[in-house]
Structure 1
């Protein structure tokens, strides 16, 4: 059983979150913690010139609120938002926060992704902890 389970959530694939949460609850040790994490990619410099909103001021709160909704209002689930490259930041967050299992989703990709989604494959390669891949 795992004490700290991290579930990365891509909001455009949130339909698989309920399955990931069910799986996490089965794998979670008594008194354990589940964290939902969304990684927002940084806006390129040439684009930020034309955008008035700062990502940390506006979008982060909206995404956090969306994660809480996806969590079904379960107040025991931690919801976090970070910025950067998802394949890197998910593994880094896990390492920095004593996560012992990352439960990542993967769509049905093409052969160019080696039969695993590109973010999922990056997490599997970089994570220092166990990674459980759930297919959608």
Structure 2
């Protein structure tokens, strides 16, 4: 026995349905969330200067799980990633002032810093987005 309740917000596509005393929401609840989950990794320039190597957790890198607002831009993600991997602007790799940092996607492609996280998610068509902070020494 089901009955519709009027607990949903006006103009919302969600309906609360009471089934035997429990409420259940119909619709895409993930679309209603204000945040996205993403994984952030750290890649550092290899000694040859051409390739990048993933930095492991014990060396100050690792994969970090972040919750960010949908309206965040990639520039905001850069700030969050730098604060995460370089606390007090320092890490085992050296000081942040001696490095250049940029954000790349899971394929290694450069991202436009004005793009929103939601746009990158929609373009990637992935369940969980993975981005990398690339660090290289300034010559």
- Greater RCO, 1 or 2 (C-alpha within 8 Å, sep 6+): 1
TM-score, normalised to structure 1, is 0.27
Of the two, which has the highest radius of gyration?
2
TM-score, normalised to structure 2, is 0.27
- Which structure is higher in helix share? 1
- Which structure is higher in strand share? 2
